[in-house]
Amino acid sequence: MNITIIRVPDYESMSRQAADFLLKKIRELSSPVLGLATGSTPKGLYEQLISIHQTQKISYRHVTTFNLDEYIGLTASDPNSYHAFMEDAFFRHVDIPASQIYIPNGEAAYLEHECTRYEALIDKKGIDVQVLGIGQNGHIGFNEPDTPFSQLTHVTTLAESTREANARFFSSPEDVPKQAITMGIASIMKSSEILLLASGARKAEAVTRLLSGNVSEDFPASVLHHHRCVTIIADDEALSEFTRKEEEHD
């Protein structure tokens, strides 16, 4: 299996390990390009990177970032937009120049043109490490089940399960947008390395299915078995079901 699994006891440990992983790239590469994710899973990672920047005086000025996705119909200043999330959770605390930060424009007048523009930027810059979470239905980015593995950056309609999972960030479930721009599965697979983070019991079933090795478009994360360099950092709870099945098999 081309996937390296790093098991950690808890969320904080996962976040520290992920920060160490990215920091190694930031130090090694002259112009590292990082693909970033949003949501509760990578938030601890960003907190660790902020702490390292502030306490160890490590600069990120040479870093370029691409975010996976953005809701359609939310302004960049909307507190629930991923522009606002990233600004609050990471960017305003570090020294990455704004000109080196890329996030899809969910307000674009011509959404298909925006998708093409974003994909061209990815191709021009190249992503050294793409950070991913995993949805309970196996989505990566906002690539929902049955998204073709060949799909590039595109407009997607969010599954109801995804909208329900994200409703905790909104005033009411009805406020969760129904569409988003997301890097496609083929866009993600262009990255030189992939770092997938998983924490908590609610991700255990998805992690188990991913590690089963069965590759199918009805479970988007399974495409990672076709990538040459994938690292998964997951905590005990996220790996609990996989561990139980392995023990039963033994």
Q: What is the CATH number of the domain that holds 223?
A: 3.40.50.1360
Tokens (6 digits) for 40: 């509760």
Q: Between the CA of residue 30 and those of 92, 121, 221, what are the distances in Å?
A: 22, 19, 30
53 is annotated as an active-site residue: no
SS3 content of the chain, % helix, strand, coil (to 5): 40, 20, 40
Residues 222-246 have a mean pLDDT of 93
- Report yes or no: 231 and 196 within 8 Å, Cβ to Cβ: yes
**What is the number of structural domains in the chain?**
1
Kindly tell me if the per-residue pLDDT of 158 is higher than 90.
no
Query: Which helix (H) or strand (E) segment is 102 a member of?
Result: strand 101-102
Q: Quick one: which of 32, 13, 111 has its CA closest to 69?
A: 111
Per-residue model confidence as pLDDT tens digits over 51-65 = 999 999 999 999 999
Residues 114, 139, 154, 237: which is the catalytic one?
139
Per-residue model confidence as pLDDT tens digits over 21-30 = 999 999 999 9
Residues 108-128 have a mean pLDDT of 97
225 is annotated as an active-site residue: no
Residue 161 has a pLDDT of: 84
Q: Amino acid identity of 64?
A: T
* Domain region containing 131: 3-249
pTM of the model: 0.94
Residues 69, 70, 237, 241: which is the catalytic one?
69
Kindly tell me if the per-residue pLDDT of 1 is higher than 60.
no
139 is annotated as an active-site residue: yes
Residues 119, 144, 235, 241: which is the catalytic one?
144
69 is annotated as an active-site residue: yes
User: In a 3-state reduction of DSSP, which class is residue 200?
Assistant: coil
Residues 137, 143, 235, 241: which is the catalytic one?
137
